[in-house]
Amino acid sequence: MTRVRQFVLAAGGTGGHMVPAAALAEELKRRGHRVALISDERGVRFPGLFDGVETHVLPAGRMQGGPIGWLRAGRAMWAGRTQAIALYKELQPAAVIGFGGYPALPALLAAFNRGVPAAVHEQNAVLGRVNRLVAGRVDAIATSYREVARLATRHRRKVRLTGNPVREEVLALRDKPYPLLEEDGIFRVLVTGGSQGASVLSQVVPDGLAMLPVSFRRRLQVTHQARVEDIDRARAKYAELSIAADLATYLPDLPEHLAWAHLVIARAGASTVAELTAAGRPAILVPLPTATDDHQTDNAREIVAAGGARVIKQSHFTPAELAKQMQRLGLDPEALANAAARARSCGHPDAARDLADLVEDLDRPPADVPVGPAQLASPGGEAAFA
């Protein structure tokens, strides 16, 4: 029988950290294990990701604001570490897995203190700051790309390529064919800037589509995620152009929109690229230029090299450039379908399974033992630490 174990997942409160953590949580629960989440206020309230998972909010500062800000952050981190140590005395975790972001740091520091096996998962093609800080002390480093920048040579022996887990609804698209695009048929475009949206997409995309030939514009059907401050202008522009467009500040049914999209225009965040490669959808990617270590540009390299996407730097992302790329893609259905297949070839459909295998390997018992009903009981409720 499988030996039931308790695992703690620690992640910052952005979608890029929370989505893969949630996918791992589901896989571990499916295997019969217990899972607890440590995050910040944003993370534990992320819609629809951690239902039924015991959650804990621990203090964790950000290293910013100069010496005074660093001191405050250090105090918050130490308080979070102290609370995590007390929590681990209760939970007795078999392992702690960090997914990046400063809220993950106190949980990992507590694991080091208690001698609990620990690993980190890196979603991006550049090792993040928190993961760099702890790389020397964790037992394993799971990566989403074959090549990861800012990873010290001495730590490469700990690396295992797992890929970046995505939601099951997105993974299910992998078994569905790329939607048929006829030369005079509807051309469906999905525009998304990640969990927070992207103003530049709302500014450029409608104006870029306006420069397309009228015959092409009439074929367009657009779903556009926009920031609150941008949505009215973008909606008015689409209406002026008579382009069928649905706009929203959040797309809870993103997998459904991804299923029918012929082309995606997006940032190059880790979760976005993982979903494109899992589903097999061609894209025009506009990396966020202010992303730490320019990691979004690195995220896009593999799918671009494979022929599954094109990158336009934000400084070159003009309506004219977008219209040019759209025409090249939209007028050649065969090339689009080929790009979709090439994007799919970069995917890691077994990422959640492989990451769960790595996590279980952190705690190697001498043998699996039968587990009684009392041990199978799952703790419930939420605990919050101020």
Q: DSSP strand E in the chain: where?
A: 6-10, 34-39, 54-57, 95-98, 118-122, 140-143, 159-161, 187-192, 220-225, 244-248, 263-266, 283-285, 309-311, 383-384
- What pLDDT, on the 0 to 100 scale, is given for residue 368? 45
- What pLDDT, on the 0 to 100 scale, is given for residue 51? 86
- What pLDDT, on the 0 to 100 scale, is given for residue 383? 32
Q: How far apart are CA 108 and CA 46, in angstroms?
A: 21
- What pLDDT, on the 0 to 100 scale, is given for residue 382? 32
- What pLDDT, on the 0 to 100 scale, is given for residue 47? 76
What's this model's pTM, rounded to 2 decimal places?
Answer: 0.88
Contacts of 5 (CB under 8 A, 6+ apart): 33, 34, 94, 95, 360, 363
Q: How far apart are CA 43 and CA 14, in angstroms?
A: 7
Q: Quickly list DSSP for 319-346.
A: HHHHHHHHHHHHT-HHHHHHHHHHHHTT
**pLDDT per residue rounded down to tens, the chain (386 residues):** 568 999 999 998 788 899 999 999 999 999 999 999 999 988 888 777 898 899 999 988 666 666 676 677 778 889 999 999 999 999 999 999 999 999 999 999 999 999 999 999 999 999 999 999 999 999 999 999 999 999 999 999 999 999 999 989 999 999 999 998 876 789 999 999 876 668 999 999 999 999 999 999 999 999 999 999 999 999 999 999 999 999 999 888 889 999 999 999 999 999 999 999 999 999 999 999 999 899 999 999 999 999 999 999 999 999 999 999 998 887 788 999 999 999 999 999 999 999 999 999 998 654 444 443 333 333 333 332 22
